[in-house]
């Protein structure tokens, strides 16, 4: 079995109502597990779509910039507190989540990442690092409840998860800057 099949299985598993309800019941799991797993499902399914539509990917995303731009737009949208809230209360927004994250974020990410230069990859990682620091600060130190469907303590927990993820990304960037990965090949 190939990775496209595993991506489809992961996608189907995540869409099953009891699994989706469980993952959406805790804010940090919703943001830091369900959403990334949907993107990973799309990344795994990307090879199927690239084989089916090779000219589309060559013409539309030849240098990786359009695909990574679409990925960033979709990810930024889903990091907004309002988007997370609406995914829980509005069925069409939840359907959009299950379509946009694998198919409009995961597939373009998989197609674009190899095409980007090292500088382009670092720009994306640095941008997400800064965004995670900003979101972590927002969720932890906001004086108001940002999401109506989650408790304030869950909001603070999600904020700390963003800050810890940002720290991990800074460590990764520092490692890449100070240690030449090609020396170990």
116 contacts 75 by C-beta, under 8 angstroms: no
d(CA 20, CA 27): 12
Torsion of CA 77, 165, 158, 17, to 10 degrees: 70
Q: What is the pTM of this model?
A: 0.90
Q: How many CB atoms lie within 10 A of CB 75?
A: 19
pLDDT, tens digit only, all 185 positions of the chain: 688 899 999 999 999 999 999 999 999 999 999 999 999 999 999 999 988 888 888 888 889 899 999 999 999 999 988 999 999 999 999 999 999 999 999 999 999 999 998 889 989 999 999 999 999 999 999 888 898 899 999 999 999 999 999 999 999 888 888 886 665 55
């Amino acid at each position: 079995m190939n990775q496209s099949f595993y991506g489809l299985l992961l996608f189907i598993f995540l869409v099953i109502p009891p699994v989706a309800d469980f993952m959406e019941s805790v804010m940090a799991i919703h943001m830091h597990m369900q959403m990334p797993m949907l993107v990973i499902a799309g990344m795994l399914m990307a090879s199927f779509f690239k084989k089916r539509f090779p000219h589309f990917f060559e013409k539309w995303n030849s240098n990786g910039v359009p695909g990574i731009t679409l990925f960033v737009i979709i990810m930024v949208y889903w990091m907004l507190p309002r988007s997370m809230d609406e995914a829980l209360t509005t069925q069409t927004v939840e359907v959009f989540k299950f379509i946009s994250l694998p198919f409009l974020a995961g597939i373009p990410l998989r197609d674009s990442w190899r095409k980007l230069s090292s500088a382009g990859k670092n720009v994306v990682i640095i941008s997400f690092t800064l965004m995670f620091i900003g979101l972590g600060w927002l969720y932890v130190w906001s004086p108001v409840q940002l999401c109506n469907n989650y408790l304030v303590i869950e909001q603070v927990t999600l904020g700390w998860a963003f800050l810890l993820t940002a720290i991990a990304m800074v460590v990764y960037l520092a490692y890449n800057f100070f240690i030449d990965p090609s020396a170990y090949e």
